[in-house]
Structure 1
Amino acid sequence: MSQQNAVEVIDVSKNFGSYQALRSVNFEIRENEFFTMLGPSGCGKTTLLRMIAGFETPDRGKFLLHGRDIVDIPPHKRRVNTVFQSYALFPHMTLAQNVAFGLENLGWERARITARVGEMLERVHMGAFANRKPEQLSGGQRQRIALARALAPEPEVLLLDEPLSALDLKLRQAMRDELRTLQRDTGITFVFVTHDQEEALDMSDRIAVLGSGEVQQIGTPSEIYEEPSNQFVADFVGETNFFEVEVLESTEKTATVRTPFGQVISVPSSTHVLPGKATLSIRPEKLNLGDQAQGVAFQAEVVKKHYLGGYSHYQLSVGGVEIRASRRNASREGDMISVGSTVHVGFIEGSARVLAA
């Protein structure tokens, strides 16, 4: 195994009774990487996280931590710590005592524990609160203490099980930045589980999209969003339009298709598709409207409009085919395209994608 891999997941399968949660999952998590497992409820992401932590055992396959098989190693002997959604702080202890707890169990000397606790509280901007109890803290502050406690023993890997889901929107956004900074500053590999696509795109070095107990795609945020490998990934990550098209000819990377609007275009393809019916995906923001329309062009009727401050979202109709489009409100007056009007629509061929099923 390469020295650059912190965790390796090898042919892992897991059943719960007759339900198969994971099917022959394989991937690697690199050293000093912010790696996210993203997917809907029931896709297997939390089960994978719990198996890395040692709280579940695979039915088949194994996990390597820096090259060492850890399947038979109990959780407390793995250099892996977990930050839970519930934070799991001890209510009767001060914040300093919460952070010190794991270090005491590891047998660290008192002076070393005191220094490390002080360092970690400062790192999460909670040094002035050392003697408070968890009940005296806000949700965001409790989150910081849970992070400090998990990071204090210098784990090789930090596992984060949807730790931001209980926070309000503004605080979640602030904590994203703090988590990313913590990961960069400590150099520890972070493995993050979430169903929130925006969180995953914002924080991750790479993302594994899981669905139906399998890895659907692994890539950088831009690869996952701009180059989805199949319909599941395109549909789950962000919004997109799906159109049925006819494939006239194709290579491994491109396909020439006839669109529902009559044009014949050549677009990128996620796989070598055979002639016949296929699915074309194009993101709403890739469709340019009105005076911005360029490339492949047609006209559409504006059926609905949703003004959301910085952007306006539209539902369009072209010969009975519904399309969603998004346009940035660049001027102070906002977007002037009105419901019921006919608007020019255009997109660049390279911004669309023919997908595998």
Structure 2
Amino acid sequence: METRKKAVELRQVSKMFGDFQALETVSFDIHDNEFFTLLGPSGCGKTTLLRMIAGFEVPTTGRIALHGKDIQGLPPHKRRVNTVFQNYALFPHMTLEQNIAYGLENLGWPSEKTRARVAEMLDLVHMSKFARRKPQQLSGGQRQRVALARALAPEPEVLLLDEPLSALDLKLRQAMREELRALQRQTGLTFVFVTHDQEEALDMSDRICVLGGGRIQQLGTPRDIYENPTNRFVANFIGETNFFDVDLLSIDGNMARVRTPLGLDLTVPQRNVRSSQQKVTLSLRPETIGLGDQASGEIMTGTVVATNYLGGHTQYIIRVGDMDIRVSRRNSWNDAETLAEGATVKLGFHPEAARVLGQ
């Protein structure tokens, strides 16, 4: 199996601000040519981690390397990394050409090479015809493209992106997600992307590092993190899920036998469960539960207590016994009427779709 080259290595890195520990000790690698995302809620340590890679913050402990070279003592301008900020940080008095050229001129690039690189970058982000405009004459999405062009111009080894889409409206964010991913593939650079938006992370990333409380909660592919969360924090933060407190009966390898509050005994996949635990959490995604004619596996009967039509899908709250279960059903052009509140309905799921979490 081929070993991936390491663009960024973090070893035993932590960060304290006075008595506050912003980031507990972490160690992981970011691969070359990878779209890598740091995902988590506000205050989880993701921006602190990005700023330490950039050189804007100094780790309290540990070592950071760029393509095998220790960059611990290097100031930001000496590191082969560039950052795209949330507010773009463009010079308002300069044209787009001048904004992109500024950093190259400071690095001592000759004027002919600088002009060629500026033209190349404007073409890359489809902004050539706006070259002599100033930032205030552009839309938010256009300014974001210029900020990307400016960051890419000096040929960094790694591009850091600190919530660059959060100031854009929904449609523009979705369009920019596609552009960013295409840009990363086209340039072959390593992108390290910070966001609190789970959909952005799932859509664009090769791998995601989920942070919570200053700790790494899980690191893996989008599919693995969504379908096989390591703990309740990850299952709750990534997408929506139903949580049930269940009794642990036994563990056999990566499977657990549990008893639900409804009296069902199920054998389901487990993550991080210890045999000493008596109570554990069962996680079941709303879209894995079938309704009516689509119900199969473990069948139950419940009452619709709420409906929420969301365009592409309808979300139901079904009461079974004294439990409320959230169910998501995709809508199609030939769907029958939405289930009415108060209706009795069958629902079912296959135990393999559930996960038992030990934390």
- Identify whether the pair has TM-score above 0.5, normalized to the shorter chain: yes
Q: Comparing 318-327 with 172-181, which one deviates more in the overlay?
A: 318-327
Q: Which residue of 2 aligns with 1:264?
A: 265
List, as ranges, runs of 4+ consecutive aligned residues in structure 1 with deviation greater than 6 Å: none
Q: Comparing 259-268 with 82-91, which one deviates more in the overlay?
A: 259-268
Q: Give 2:309's match in structure 1, choosing from 299, 307, 310.
A: 307
Contact residue 273 and residue 356 of structure 2 kept, 8 A? no
Correspondence 1:1-357 to 2 at 5 A: 4-274=5-275, 276-333=278-335, 335-357=337-359
How many residues are treated as equivalent by the alignment? 356
Deviation at 1:333, TM superposition (A): 4.6
Distance 1:70 1:3, change over 3 A: farther
Q: Matches of 2:147 and 2:206 in 1, distance apart? A: 23
DSSP 3-state at the match of 1:107: coil
1:139 maps to a residue whose letter is: G
Q: Comparing 134-143 with 313-322, which one deviates more in the overlay?
A: 313-322
DSSP 3-state at the match of 2:240: coil
DSSP 3-state at the match of 1:52: helix
1:341 maps to a residue whose letter is: A
Q: Matches of 1:173 and 1:272 in 2, distance apart? A: 37
1:58 maps to a residue whose letter is: P
DSSP 3-state at the match of 1:27: strand
Distance 1:136 1:256, change over 3 A: same
Contact residue 251 and residue 272 of structure 1 kept, 8 A? no
DSSP 3-state at the match of 1:285: helix
Contact residue 209 and residue 233 of structure 1 kept, 8 A? yes
Structure 1, residues 291-345: CA drift from partner, whole Å, max 9, x if none? 1000111111110000111110011111111111100112345553111011111
Distance 1:322 1:154, change over 3 A: same
- What TM-score results when the alignment is normalised by the length of structure 2? 0.97
DSSP 3-state at the match of 1:260: coil
Structure 1, residues 196-236: CA drift from partner, whole Å, max 9, x if none? 00000000000000001000000000001000000000001
Q: Matches of 1:356 and 1:195 in 2, distance apart? A: 24
Structure 1, residues 29-58: CA drift from partner, whole Å, max 9, x if none? 000000000000000000000000000001
DSSP 3-state at the match of 1:176: helix
Deviation at 1:90, TM superposition (A): 0.4
Distance 1:18 1:335, change over 3 A: farther
Distance 1:333 1:348, change over 3 A: closer
DSSP 3-state at the match of 1:269: strand
Q: Matches of 2:262 and 2:54 in 1, distance apart? A: 51
DSSP 3-state at the match of 2:144: helix
Q: Comparing 346-355 with 322-331, which one deviates more in the overlay?
A: 322-331
Contact residue 241 and residue 284 of structure 2 kept, 8 A? yes
Structure 1, residues 164-211: CA drift from partner, whole Å, max 9, x if none? 000000000000000000000001100000000000000000000000
Q: Matches of 2:252 and 2:96 in 1, distance apart? A: 60
Q: Comparing 306-315 with 156-165, which one deviates more in the overlay?
A: 306-315
Q: Matches of 2:18 and 2:325 in 1, distance apart? A: 42
Contact residue 261 and residue 298 of structure 1 kept, 8 A? no
DSSP 3-state at the match of 2:271: coil
Q: Matches of 1:61 and 1:332 in 2, distance apart? A: 58
Deviation at 1:271, TM superposition (A): 2.2
DSSP 3-state at the match of 2:38: strand
Q: Matches of 2:208 and 2:336 in 1, distance apart? A: 35
Q: Matches of 1:77 and 1:285 in 2, distance apart? A: 48
Q: Matches of 1:24 and 1:219 in 2, distance apart? A: 18
Q: Matches of 1:18 and 1:273 in 2, distance apart? A: 33
Identity across the alignment (%): 64
